[in-house]
Chain A
């Protein structure tokens, strides 16, 4: 079985399956068979993924695995080349997981259900292809292809301002992905050999000026996706108008593509430029955290509020990838997975609340907890996860980024102090806006005005199931983070040592002492702590 094209199968299964959707009989026109079909396809694909990674993937191996490479259009050197390493593998798994749950979350969608599920399945394949692609051209193609379903899902099933939001989204991302193409081609044609293979591109010896230019271009395109303030304004609009399942995909997976691509290309392929850009990334990360937290606090629209909170959380990814430490980069990857789960759960709950209250304006809500205590409980749990409560995954990720950055030897001490203090202010701001939100939606005397014309029914089992599915990994990772970190640790460690090699000042300090920058020279790791009192 080891030669079986696992990744290709996983990518194409949903795509091929989506082609069959027009032929599924749908007698009553409500799309029941179609949604079951989509769900089953999603599940099968997810199962395949899990099976493939469990049996074919070696966690100790830091390199690419499950590699497949076929000539596609040899004339232009285009190869269908896919693979997975520690950074893409957790994200592929998360994609399968969240997309399947989003399919389940889309249960109430009856409007044009054939098209809807067709697009969802198309997105499924496209997203995985983005994380698996190992060829620059293939990456660009799937990156672009995956935009179309999102655009349509926004433009057809969105809210009142859906056209504006969808147009803004497509303009933003299409324009920015132009930079990927330009940068990718430039890298491919640089030097003597022409290649699109990412590994080979990463091994090319670019001049620093060229690297910086390419890096800047890629940073813009991925900065839009992640998003990095000030390239973020498409996101509140898109998130504000999307329906819950699309919302889950946007927050859970699309944003992670930006983070993933930043690590895969900017950090891994252009380490010399990364060393120059990293301080800027850190500053942008801090701006993300504080700026978005403040805007989220002032925002009166529930969906936009959560959308800004996503931006705020992505700031930690930016800081994490710029730490040049194992811990920081590991934390950045963990933050992506963690926010994927937490963001998806919060957006799903926002959708569930909206289905009942039919308003997103916080002033019109309030006091709905009596009627929907279960939604209240789940909303509270997910908000606490989002504000990085220990015991949940967000805390571990943020802690790793914090410790990683605080002990990073790539920056001067005053810079580190300022950044850590500013980022920690986010720790205060996050509960302010999230708990205020909970208070305004749920707390207070029963809202007679709202209950008089809306039937506020409590969560149904399907909704509880979805949230439970998301909360179990969130809490699992929070209680014992090694569950997740050990499966990608080898890759991030190798990545860190590779990027450290490109920073001359760090190389001399490297090895044998990993925490050489610490004043305490003998410190290596926490040995068995001693205790007083005997």
Chain B
């Protein structure tokens, strides 16, 4: 039993005390755990109530905007309070809790479902509920004028419920169920503004790309079940190892199965080569980008790797694939993010890159470092996205409700004057993601890089370089958005952007916060300068700034509460405690120093280019044009997929349909023709058709019996 002393040292408690503490705990805590299913069910209930209201009393429900919002937020707040209570109880050493029921059965096959509360799920519950709650509060301001306000809350609540269900899942099938459900919510929310063609395309792309990953996940689950007869993570891990070591299963097959399962996280956590859906998913309203596509759902992939750790960790080949996928994705995302001009797209690629870090950490076996980064990233990236939403909201006052204009950083600049709170929180986020101490991102990223260095210096090199690029593009984003002078009125830039987007300047697309055609009419109420967002939007930003600043302190290498709490299932407690004591100042200073160093280089470069304008980014881009174009066109991966898969699939489908019409149906129509002719011929038999029919039947039966008797 683990305990944390007042001075933060981790010690092993005496066994007898543990038993006593435990039984007392059990009496007090048991109801808390028995009803833990309420955490996912509460948001589900609110979503259902509102959904039913929307279907049956559409007008009334839509008019009760705030009432609905408060209802949803209250439901989630209750879930959050519950999650915090559970986290508290888990932190104080309550044993893991498991409740199951039989979900499906056929003959001797039984499949159980249920929920489990352990350290990992307690942590994830807390992250999801806190971020979701703040995003919901923020939504009130962001979507204030949208006619779909209530529907949006219903979807948000539905998503929260699915995500919470995912993190308490007890086996692979249950994970798969919620995995798909969060995917569905993502589909609904990306396509929320269904009158935008780009949103419709993006929603479909997100769902289908994820299905490609799920294809692998499903095959992996089936294969693992075939091999081990179980869907349970730990059992699969144990039995798989047993099978491989006894030679009953070749290790190649085991590796293949594990990699198939890993395809699921590849799609969900937007890892190369299935990362293409995430930037497009930015078509959804910004609160969604923060909640689903930055903080929670995309992290589900990392969560699944963590759950599958008993399986993966026994296979070094698989761990290598995972680690290199992560490392490559981290670099890929960062290399694309540096040339993006759409503020949300830039953040999306940064998310891809950061998820790459987490996956890389998992791959090198740095279980708690990966999850630590998941947690810190959830908070600071949610804040950055919400901040970008606030910027877009402010920009819309000037350029209109047009995502092409309102999200482009070439039209921003100098917003710090107009939006002080947004800019302050955004800066905190930038510092956190760039890895400047004491901000949260430093501690988690440093821990990852330290573990990676220990296992593979080449990979560390990739991660370290990426950290520099990260600092560069984040501050490029910060400087072009908030510093300098406001460029929102440069009509030439506007026209250029519109032309690039293929739309005439005055064609008004719908935008965040404005689906009311009356508002779209003209630029009447547009002001000359951007404005700070309302309190419901800035308050969540300010609240999120706190964990972005401080939460890293729970996982400092010299005092790692986080690792003591979250560590792989197999690891003995003593081992963790030992690691904590082994802390080496020199190593920390070298590793930390080098990552701070490269981050500072990145920031300096960004300030030279975008703040002081001593270096002209355009000139540099012209000098390395092929590289610039390569990054700008996202490594041409989307174009490649479009030609090969999308067009290919369409062509194949058309060809199959041709065959269906001309060959399969053609034969049938020909037979129809022949029958008709022979039917005409039969008319001339005076015996008539009925007798003939009977005769044929009789002869056939006779033939049958004689031949086979």
Chain A proximity mask over B23-66: 1 for CB below 8 Å, otherwise 0: 00000000000000000000000000000001110100000000
Flag if B208 contacts A520 (CB, 8 Å): no
B657 CB contacts on chain A under 8 angstroms:
294-295, 298-299
Number of interface residues of B (CB under 8 A): 97
Flag if B204 contacts A396 (CB, 8 Å): no
Task: Name which residue of chain A comes closest to B570, CB basis.
Answer: A532
A309 within 8 A of B: no
Chain A min CB distance to B255 (Å): 15
Chain B proximity mask over A464-504: 1 for CB below 8 Å, otherwise 0: 10000000000000001110011001001100100000000
A159 within 8 A of B: no
Chain A min CB distance to B202 (Å): 11
Alpha-carbon separation in the docked complex, A236 to B170 (Å): 43
Chain A min CB distance to B363 (Å): 19
Chain B proximity mask over A417-444: 1 for CB below 8 Å, otherwise 0: 0001100110110011001100100111
Flag if A230 contacts B664 (CB, 8 Å): yes
Flag if B219 contacts A421 (CB, 8 Å): yes
Alpha-carbon separation in the docked complex, A532 to B170 (Å): 11
Chain A min CB distance to B574 (Å): 13
Alpha-carbon separation in the docked complex, A442 to B176 (Å): 29
A390 and B180 contact, Cβ closer than 8 Å, known pairs A190-B709, A435-B204 = yes
Flag if A427 contacts B234 (CB, 8 Å): no
Flag if B109 contacts A298 (CB, 8 Å): no
Chain A proximity mask over B233-257: 1 for CB below 8 Å, otherwise 0: 1110001001100001100000000
B665 CB contacts on chain A under 8 angstroms:
233
Specify which of A234, A376, A442, A515 is in contact with B229 (CB 8 Å cutoff).
Answer: A515
B672 within 8 A of A: yes
Alpha-carbon separation in the docked complex, A376 to B466 (Å): 44
Within 8 A of B (CB), among A298-345: 298-299, 325-327, 329-331
Flag if A489 contacts B225 (CB, 8 Å): no
Chain B's interface: helix, strand, loop or mixed, by majority? helix
Flag if B58 contacts A374 (CB, 8 Å): yes
Alpha-carbon separation in the docked complex, A404 to B701 (Å): 37
Within 8 A of A (CB), among B79-133: 95-96, 98, 100, 102-112, 116, 118-120
A428 CB contacts on chain B under 8 angstroms:
208, 211-212, 215
Interface centre among A395, A406, A492 (most CB of B within 10 A): A406
Flag if B208 contacts A400 (CB, 8 Å): no
Interface centre among B108, B187, B234 (most CB of A within 10 A): B108
Alpha-carbon separation in the docked complex, A298 to B648 (Å): 12
B95 CB contacts on chain A under 8 angstroms:
534
A520 CB contacts on chain B under 8 angstroms:
227-229, 239, 242-243, 248
Alpha-carbon separation in the docked complex, A294 to B664 (Å): 15
A37 within 8 A of B: no
A182 within 8 A of B: yes
Flag if B697 contacts A377 (CB, 8 Å): no
B668 CB contacts on chain A under 8 angstroms:
168, 172, 233-234
Specify which of A181, A206, A207, A446 is in contact with B195 (CB 8 Å cutoff).
Answer: A446
B568 CB contacts on chain A under 8 angstroms:
532
Interface centre among B226, B243, B248 (most CB of A within 10 A): B226
Alpha-carbon separation in the docked complex, A298 to B249 (Å): 42
A69 within 8 A of B: no
Flag if B234 contacts A530 (CB, 8 Å): yes
Chain A min CB distance to B683 (Å): 17
The stretch from A19-27, A124-132, A521-529 touching chain B is A521-529
The stretch from A38-46, A143-151, A209-217, A262-270 touching chain B is A209-217
Task: Name which residue of chain A comes closest to B240, CB basis.
Answer: A520
Alpha-carbon separation in the docked complex, A432 to B119 (Å): 38
Task: Name which residue of chain B comes closest to A190, CB basis.
Answer: B705
Flag if B233 contacts A529 (CB, 8 Å): yes
Chain B proximity mask over A188-206: 1 for CB below 8 Å, otherwise 0: 0110000000000000001
Flag if B222 contacts A445 (CB, 8 Å): no
A493 CB contacts on chain B under 8 angstroms:
106-107
Alpha-carbon separation in the docked complex, A214 to B700 (Å): 11
Specify which of B55, B104, B569 is in contact with A481 (CB 8 Å cutoff).
Answer: B104
Flag if A482 contacts B103 (CB, 8 Å): yes
Specify which of B119, B184, B187, B230 is in contact with A526 (CB 8 Å cutoff).
Answer: B230
B200 CB contacts on chain A under 8 angstroms:
439, 443-444
Interface centre among A213, A431, A445, A526 (most CB of B within 10 A): A526
Alpha-carbon separation in the docked complex, A403 to B219 (Å): 10
Chain A proximity mask over B636-669: 1 for CB below 8 Å, otherwise 0: 0000000000000110111011001000110010
Specify which of B229, B234, B653 is in contact with A518 (CB 8 Å cutoff).
Answer: B229
A207 CB contacts on chain B under 8 angstroms:
708-709
A53 within 8 A of B: no
Flag if A526 contacts B672 (CB, 8 Å): no
B177 within 8 A of A: yes
B171 CB contacts on chain A under 8 angstroms:
526, 529
B188 CB contacts on chain A under 8 angstroms:
380
Specify which of B98, B108, B211, B226 is in contact with A427 (CB 8 Å cutoff).
Answer: B211
A534 CB contacts on chain B under 8 angstroms:
1, 95-96
B215 CB contacts on chain A under 8 angstroms:
424-425, 427-428
Chain B min CB distance to A203 (Å): 17
A533 within 8 A of B: yes
B218 within 8 A of A: yes
Chain B min CB distance to A252 (Å): 23
Chain A proximity mask over B172-192: 1 for CB below 8 Å, otherwise 0: 010011101100100110010
A376 CB contacts on chain B under 8 angstroms:
194
Flag if A295 contacts B653 (CB, 8 Å): yes
Flag if A519 contacts B249 (CB, 8 Å): yes
B197 within 8 A of A: yes
Task: Name which residue of chain B comes closest to A490, CB basis.
Answer: B107
B203 CB contacts on chain A under 8 angstroms:
435, 439
A482 and B654 contact, Cβ closer than 8 Å, known pairs A390-B177, A420-B219, A425-B215 = no
A254 within 8 A of B: no
Alpha-carbon separation in the docked complex, A432 to B170 (Å): 30
B460 within 8 A of A: no
Flag if B701 contacts A480 (CB, 8 Å): no
Task: Name which residue of chain A comes closest to B663, CB basis.
Answer: A230
Chain A min CB distance to B569 (Å): 2
A396 and B104 contact, Cβ closer than 8 Å, known pairs A407-B226, A428-B212, A428-B215 = yes
Chain B min CB distance to A486 (Å): 8
Chain B min CB distance to A318 (Å): 18
User: In the complex, given contacts A210-B704, A527-B235, A530-B232, what are 15 additional A-B residue pairs having Cβ atoms less than 8 angstroms apart?
Assistant: A210-B707, A214-B704, A297-B650, A299-B657, A370-B195, A403-B109, A443-B195, A444-B196, A445-B197, A446-B195, A519-B243, A526-B111, A526-B230, A533-B119, A533-B569
Top 9 A-B residue pairs of the complex, sorted by shortest distance between their CB atoms: A532-B569, A523-B229, A326-B107, A210-B708, A443-B200, A529-B232, A330-B106, A390-B177, A514-B108
* B interface residue numbers (CB < 8 A to A): 1, 54-56, 58, 95-96, 98, 100, 102-112, 116, 118-120, 170-171, 173, 176-178, 180-181, 184, 187-188, 191, 194-197, 199-201, 203-204, 207-208, 211-212, 214-215, 218-219, 222-223, 225-235, 239, 242-243, 248-249, 310, 567-570, 649-650, 652-654, 656-657, 660, 664-665, 668, 672, 675, 697, 700-701, 704-705, 707-709
* A interface residue numbers (CB < 8 A to B): 167-168, 171-172, 178, 181-183, 185-186, 189-190, 206-207, 209-210, 213-214, 229-230, 232-234, 291, 294-295, 297-299, 325-327, 329-331, 367, 369-370, 373-374, 376-377, 380, 384, 389-391, 395-396, 399-400, 402-404, 406-407, 416, 420-421, 424-425, 427-428, 431-432, 435-436, 439, 442-446, 464, 480-482, 485-486, 489, 492-493, 496, 514-515, 518-520, 523-534
A–B Cβ pairs within 8 angstroms, 30 of them:
A167-B672, A168-B668, A183-B704, A189-B701, A207-B709, A210-B709, A294-B652, A294-B653, A295-B660, A298-B653, A376-B194, A396-B104, A427-B214, A427-B215, A427-B218, A431-B211, A432-B649, A435-B207, A444-B197, A489-B105, A489-B106, A514-B108, A519-B248, A520-B227, A523-B228, A528-B100, A529-B231, A529-B234, A531-B116, A533-B567
